[in-house]
Amino acid sequence: MSGGSAKGVEQGGFLLFLAFVSAAFLAVVLPFARPLLWAALAAILFQPLYRWFLAKRPEKESQSALASLIVILFAVVLPALWIGSAVVDEAAGLYVAFREGNVDVSTYFEQVFGALPANIQASLDSAGFGDFSEVQARVTAFVQASLGLIAQQAIAIGGSVFGFVLAFGIALYVGFFLLRDGRAIGDAILAALPMERSVADRLAERFLTIVRATIKGSVVVGLAQGALGALTFWIVGIPSVLLLGVIMAIASLLPALGPAIVWVPAAVYLLATGAIWEGVVVIVSGVALIGMVDNVLRPILVGRDTGIPDWLILVTTLGGIALMGLSGIVVGPLVCGLFLAAWGIFAEQRAEGAQA
């Protein structure tokens, strides 16, 4: 066997070994994919905070990372866990109320229906929407299924307390090192990727842009809209404000409609049942506050467009949630952005090759 052939066999054998150990590594860390993902996202998002602490205490990388982690824990993680537990309690209470028939949806629809003009009532009757018992059955079934899903997720988490605590501890532990050594780790990964460094740098920049845009532009804006919605509902006396606020935060991912799919029906019901000032407050808050948050906060937080069309963001976000749960809010648009970026780079390279 010639030297070139032997070298080719050795190189092929090494690549085969590299593929094998990479697959084995992924299989080992796969059970902790979610905590590792959120640790990486937190390290990316809070890297400026770490840099701020490091500027205050130069050459104290570990102390700066620990201080950043403490801020993340008490300012983000613990409040999120508290809100999550409160939302689950409200969802469980509503689920029981619907199951036992304590919530009469048909009465609500009758009140709204009775407040409509006569010609609209006649049109709805002819279209088959005047049967409130059917509406009651369908709405009850839908709400029970939705709230039951929340309860099932909560039971799943509560039933594996050890697994949750372990994942939580891993996320904090890994997050510390990613905050401290994240840039060095990122440079090492880019240097090892089997592609041109310029292409790897462009994909990395795209990755960071989409992560920051998704978390800041979608998650933070959604939380702000949900918080304003919950506060508005609390002022006018609507129950289960935390649950409705979370629903509004999730609905903010929907282009065009957004949180309006929650506050508009609430305002219509309040006005139809004679709660005039409450309905007006909900409308004013929905238009002037909740609706404007996206236009005001998103440019400040993101600063530039991700280049992903709204309809693709919607589809990939919902697909990511269906595939990975809460993590899919970030993973879906991230995969979509990298997909578009990779094919864009490929098209550029192909065009350059054709011109050469």
Q: State the average pLDDT over residues 97-123.
A: 62
DSSP 1: -
**Alpha carbon of 269 to those of 110, 257, 272: distances in Å?**
10, 18, 5
Lowest mean pLDDT among 74-78, 121-125, 137-141, 215-219: 137-141
Model pTM score: 0.70
Q: 204: exposed, middle or buried (C-beta count within 10 Å: 0-12, 13-18, 19+)?
A: middle
Contacts (Cβ under 8 Å, ≥6 apart) of 216:
45, 301, 302
Tens digit of pLDDT for each residue in 148-193?
555 555 554 444 556 677 888 888 889 899 998 888 888 888 888 8
- Of 99-103, 188-192, 245-249, 308-312, the least confident: 99-103
C-alpha closest to that of 339 among 316, 322, 321, 319? 316
pLDDT tens for 182-228 read 888 888 888 888 788 888 888 888 888 777 777 777 778 888 888 89
